[in-house]
Amino acid sequence: MDNPFVINLSGLKPGNHSFRFSVDDGLFERMPHSPIRQGRLEAAVDLDKRTDMLVLDISFEGTVHVPCDRCNEPFDLPVEGAEEVLVKFTDAPMDDEPELIYLPKGTTEFDCSQILYELVMLHLPLQMVHPDRDGQPGCPEDALARFEREPDEPEPPTEEESIWDVLKDLD
């Protein structure tokens, strides 16, 4: 399977290079445990190739298709972000760090797919909900109607009533 996120390093001279990637559902399908399966984003990778390292300035913008945390109905969530990632070439194998990736010297290709995926995931908001419209929840009305309180449920206590007042009636 051809990977559109691979940068061929062997033909690059030292200096600055720019790459553009169209991120679609294929990226999310490659990731086995991804909670996201659909998305459309444009990513820009500005690569500064040096003798012993790469400096990647990565930015992206687009939408991902996610379920709403409020109503569970799917919607397109706008997402954007930018990060700098350093890739260091070394002879000794080392564990990657959050903003530093180690590759063996002589590596001829660099796959950006994992980094792009992780950056998109890191830039998702903690709560993914339909955007509000005119101060009201943006969720579909029929989805919100499912959360209406049943008429035979007891009324919640008012501010004057304490939740402990209910315990006074117990024998």
Q: Are strands 38-49 and 109-111 parallel, antiparallel or unpaired?
A: unpaired
The pTM of this model reads 0.77
Nearest CA-CA partner of 59 in 114, 141, 119: 119
Query: What is the chain's mean pLDDT, rounded?
Result: 86
Question: In whole angstroms, what is the distance from residue 4 CA to residue 21 CA?
Answer: 8
pLDDT digits (tens, 9 = 90+) for 10-22: 888 999 999 999 9
Q: Are strands 74-90 and 100-104 parallel, antiparallel or unpaired?
A: parallel
Residue 132 has pLDDT above 60, yes or no: yes
pLDDT digits (tens, 9 = 90+) for 134-143: 877 788 888 7
pLDDT digits (tens, 9 = 90+) for 72-89: 889 999 999 999 999 998
